[in-house]
Amino acid sequence: MKRALYAVAAVTLVATTPMASTAVAQSPDLIPRKLIFGNPSRLAPKLSPDGKSLAWIAPRDGVLNVWVAPVGALASAKPVTDEKPRPIMEYWWSPDGTRIVYAQDRGGNENWVLYGVDVATGTQITYTDAEKVTVRVIGASPKVPGSILIGLNNRVPQFHDVYRLDLASGKRELVLKNDRWAGFLADWDLNVRFGFRQTPAGGAAIDRIAADGKAELFDEFGADDAFTTGPLGITADGKTLYVRDSRGRDTSGLFALDLATGKPMPIGGSAKADVAGVIAHPTTGEIEAYGVNYLKKEWVPVAASVKDDIAFLNREAKGEWNVVSQTRDNRKWTLQVDRVSEPVTFYLYDRDAKRLTRLFTARPDLEGRALAPMGTLEIRSRDGLVLPSYLSLPPGADRNGDGKPEQALPMVLYVHGGPWARDDYGYNSIHQWLANRGYAVLSVNYRGSTGLGKSFLNASTREFAGKMHDDLLDAVDWAVTEGVARKDKVAIMGGSYGGYATLVGLTFTPDAFACGVDIVGPSNLVTLIESFPPYWAPILELSWYPRVGDPRKEADRKDLLARSPITRVDAIRKPLLIGQGANDPRVTQKESDQIVAAMKAKSIPVTYALYPDEGHGFARPENRTSFFAITEGFLAKCLGGKQEPVGGDFAGSSLKVPEGADYVPGLKEAAAGRM
């Protein structure tokens, strides 16, 4: 259930002038969209705590569900869940290894409901309420194998009370009423030990919570460090708290804090990037390695016991690797290995034998296809910031191996959401699809992206439609100057904040891009912030109000409107595509509806793809594939790239096209009968 702070899905097509075709790089035969955006074959393999069983996600009757098999007999796997119509995207083994636990919402509304399935009997229990309540998993421990801690906002929508849930019976017991905290950290006995809250000045505080529920301040940090400092976990003996901390430095380092004395001990860190993930022992909680992700991710050993494992995997995995699961004795791991120009593959790793056994790949139909490599770049902004970036080129476009095409290409600037998130090195379905169609694809970690130090993140404060957008323009200028992109053939595309950036691109800088694809992007920052779900209230003072603006204040409200694309609709003169999920709780349908209405009122052509059964993005493969079929036709008309015929790519989708169905070839016919 971990998501970016917000994501946007809006698609609008605007045609004001005919589109001329343009030459694109020679690319291999088109890879069918369904092989890229349809259901994966299998993914997320997780070992049971005893190591005897393996679970994974795979389609059941066309919908992603959880399957389980004995480790030595994967061919005998059976599905243990039967979700329809939305896929299961995340699941967990219960600490005792008898159950699969997962969360599911309805139509993308993010009112998460928790379920448990007994693996032996198939009996399913619905643990939490389905209406207007969302669950959070707070703690689980092998020391208390039959229970977990969860948070529910069923009493007050803004705050999650803490409950202890018995997994066998489904009974839950109230542990702590919550009237202030945004989140909690529990110990291995499932006692709530710490609560996290925002401070009025935009910083954050950690409160120590006693057994009787009384709390006292444990630590506090200011706004500059609020996003890069915080606790990671407690050891099983309850003596050590691990934290990442950026105070007194730019990037967050890893520290071990003695809870008896309060003395911190530095463990490690990097001058270029924050600590990005840890590998902890499954029964002691002791951190054995930590990750650092600047341009690529690297694992740094902390414990001598994993030093040889990391060296072995760095040598033998032949790509970036991450631990997906560990057995209770920590002797076997499942791994995800990413080689960028191959589909992601999963392995079983035997630590004693130092042996990797291939389990499966996520998309076997892509094996052997000519997929695009990804280059890492450092692009400098106009005011001197270094922007870690990633460039994918069509296979065969860079014949001399210098990381640039032999001739300038049409390019898509693909902007990540968040905005407090980041782009990473690795297999990227959007990059692979667009490169296969003949485009250069550039993704930029603009200021505000996470993981790159606090000064880089904090440089985005109050810079929506300002310096954050300048960073994107500077990256495009680099691509044009270096012969990567044709100046007149650059599209901007993205979801959530990336959708907002697309709208900013076509309204604030209307001549900078040839066209734009906005996926669930906000058009009005005031209505966006005012419509956030109630349970976001505990984090607004930490993130949105100080860093973007507080619409409750008149001066801020005016500034937010000045940075909103809805106030500059008159400037749009390039084609725009908008896609939206009707149930999106983060960027509501209103954000797309209002800019479409404003464009109609000014007789600006617009195409609007709406999905009634989706939320913040498109989870169902039928919807995802249909939307990217629309996008492909849109980009082919705008940039001149290759296009796969629509065929049956709209079958099974919930697509509605309230406006502009006749811009993309085949869209009007596909939308007939859906209005």
Active site residues: 496, 584, 616
Helix (H, G, I), strand (E, B) or coil at 595: helix
Q: Is the dihedral of CA 87, 93, 98, 102 positive or negative?
A: negative
DSSP β-bridge partners for residue 257: 241, 264
Instruction: List the structure tokens of 459.
Output: 């440089």
Nearest 5°: phi and psi at 119? -65, -35
**Beta bridge mates, 63:** 60
Among 583, 23, 74, 655, which residue's Cα sits nearest to residue 348?
74
> What's the DSSP call for residue 160?
E
For residue 419, say if its preceding peptide bond is cis, omega within 30 degrees of 0.
yes
Q: What is the amino acid identity at position 329?
A: D
Omega of the bond leading into 85 within 30 degrees of 0 (cis): yes
DSSP letter at 131? S
| Beta carbons of 68 and 53 less than 8 angstroms apart | yes
Sign of the alpha-carbon torsion through 211, 212, 213, 218: negative
What is the rounded CA–CA span in Å between residue 255 and residue 243?
5
| Token reading at 210 | 């006693």
Contact 585, 8 (CB under 8 A): no
The radius of gyration of the chain's CA atoms, rounded to the nearest angstrom, is: 25
Phi/psi of residue 635, nearest 5 degrees: -70, -35
| Terminal alpha carbon distance of the chain | 32
- 628 touches 609 (CB < 8 A): no
The whole-angstrom separation of Cα 506 and Cα 140 is 47
Q: How would you classify the pairing of strands 192-198 and 204-209?
A: antiparallel
Distance, in Å, from the CA atom of 204 to the CA atom of 600, rounded to the nearest integer, reads: 44
Using CA atoms, how far apart are residues 192 and 190, in angstroms rounded to an integer?
A: 6
CA distance 220 to 251: 18
Rounded CA-CA distance 360/531 in Å is 42
List of E strands, 339-471? 345-350, 355-361, 374-380, 386-392, 409-415, 440-444
**d(C-alpha 581, C-alpha 176), whole Å:** 35
Q: Which of 604, 673, 661, 674 is nearest to 633 (CA)?
A: 661
292 φ/ψ angles, rounded to the nearest 5 degrees: -130, 130
Identity at 605, one-letter amino acid code:
P
CA distance linking residue 304 with residue 422, whole number of Å: 31
